[in-house]
């Protein structure tokens, strides 16, 4: 199944760490965020990638054109370095298409500009290139395939560490609780799409919320609720936390690496009715 990745954003909140590269090229360990997202999909057998480029396109192209397999694979070096024998490889079986989709394009516009590369597909995958998860992708695809939905998104609990307060009529605080305790769900990406999504996209608009809003009255937007590991690297702090997990060898998203993945069982998605809009029974935060 083809995988469309949106990796052309400016990433202004992370520019301190990557002044001339797009946010997905921020490093987690020895590899960029984008690589970690791609390895997740490749772990499940999806190795045909379409990269929607924009800001920092040259950095993405250069990285893969000069890819060094030895950074993430064991190897034997002989003949004074003239012969390198890899024990495993990362991207040998990957097919990567690089498409310049514009500097200021929205996600929806970027998707429109790669339409010809997914022509003829029954369905395809799409995602932001800066979010990591250990969600069970095959189960998500199976649920979507059995539905009549045009689009599916991963719905995750709100990630904010802030607290919300209840205030009584005399302006006294009656309760303080983490925002995660509220019945709210956030758009976590990891989209599964049918070609009908292109009928809902418009120039000058975005996929979220504009195209998705058009699906709601037709009850064709599916939420796959997941309470396991999910993390977006939106800020420098987010990246630092992911780096800490990486260096502690506790990386739930690295399903492909037994040395770093804990091996803990992956929670199944919570079963939302496939014929109900994403916001039914809760508030859905859309990014």
- State residue 18's pLDDT score: 46
Q: Within a domain: residue 175?
A: no
**Mean pLDDT, 10 residues at a time, over the chain (287 residues)?**
91 51 90 97 98 95 94 88 87 96 95 97 97 97 98 90 84 82 87 98 96 96 96 90 93 92 61 40 41
Q: What is the pLDDT of residues 240-259, one digit of tens each?
A: 999 999 999 999 999 999 88
Coil, strand or helix at 57: helix
Whether residue 169 is contained in a domain is answered as no
Query: Is 29 inside a domain boundary?
Result: yes
143 found inside a domain: yes
**Do residues 224 and 127 lie in contact, with contact meaning Cβ atoms separated by under 8 Å?**
no
CB under 8 Å to 179, separation ≥6 — which residues?
A: 158, 160, 161, 162, 163, 164
Bridge partners of 31, per DSSP, are 28
Examine residue 165 and state whether it is found in any structural domain, yes or no: no
C-alpha distances (whole Å) from 211 to each of 167, 220, 271 are 37, 11, 24
Residue 271: what pLDDT?
53
Following CA atoms 183, 184, 190, 196 in sequence, which dihedral angle do they give, to the nearest 10 degrees? 100
- The answer to whether 118 touches 198, Cβ cutoff 8 Å, is no
- Has residue 63 been placed in a domain? yes
Residue 190: which residues within 8 A CB-CB, separation 6 or more?
A: 125, 127, 131, 133, 135, 137, 140, 153, 154, 224
Closest CA to 69 of 116, 31, 20: 31
pLDDT of residue 278: 41
- Give the helix/strand (H/E) hosting 179: none
Say which CATH number the domain at 106 has.
3.90.550.10
Identify the DSSP state of 209: I
Q: Is 167 inside any structural domain? A: no
Asked if residue 209 has a cis previous peptide bond (ω within 30° of 0), the answer is yes
> What pLDDT sits at residue 255?
96
Q: 9: burial class by Cβ within 10 Å (0-12, 13-18, 19+)? A: buried
Q: Is residue 58 part of a domain?
A: yes
Q: What pLDDT shows up at residue 266?
A: 56
Structural domain boundaries enclosing 122:
2-153+186-276
Our count of domains for the chain comes to: 1
* Whole-Å CA distances, 18 to 43, 52, 83, 118, 181: 27, 19, 33, 31, 34
């Amino acid at each position: 199944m083809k995988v469309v990745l949106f990796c052309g954003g400016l990433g202004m909140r992370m520019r301190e760490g990557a002044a001339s590269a797009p946010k997905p090229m921020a490093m987690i360990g020895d590899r960029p965020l984008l690589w970690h997202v791609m390895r997740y999909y490749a772990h499940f057998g999806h190795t045909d990638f379409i990269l929607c480029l924009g800001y920092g396109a040259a950095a993405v192209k250069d990285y893969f054109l000069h890819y060094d397999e030895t950074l993430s694979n064991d190897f034997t070096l002989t003949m004074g370095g003239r012969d390198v024998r890899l024990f495993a490889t990362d991207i040998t079986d990957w097919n990567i298409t690089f498409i310049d989709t514009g500097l200021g394009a929205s996600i929806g516009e970027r998707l429109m500009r790669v339409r010809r590369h997914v022509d003829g597909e029954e369905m395809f995958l799409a995602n932001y290139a800066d979010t990591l998860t250990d969600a069970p992708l095959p189960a998500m695809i199976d649920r979507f395939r059995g539905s009549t939905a045009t689009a599916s998104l991963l719905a995750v609990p709100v990630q904010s560490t802030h607290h919300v307060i209840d205030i009584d009529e005399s302006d006294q605080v009656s309760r303080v609780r983490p925002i995660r305790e509220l019945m709210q769900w956030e758009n976590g990406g990891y989209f599964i799409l049918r070609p009908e999504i292109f009928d809902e996209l418009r120039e000058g608009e975005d996929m979220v919320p504009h195209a998705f809003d058009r699906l709601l009255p037709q009850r064709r937007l599916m939420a796959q609720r997941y309470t396991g590991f999910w993390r977006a690297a939106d800020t420098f702090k987010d990246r630092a936390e992911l780096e800490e997990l990486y260096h502690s060898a506790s990386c739930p998203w690295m399903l492909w690496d037994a040395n770093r993945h804990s091996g803990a069982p992956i929670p199944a998605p919570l079963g939302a009715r496939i014929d109900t809009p994403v916001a039914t029974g809760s508030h859905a935060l859309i990014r």
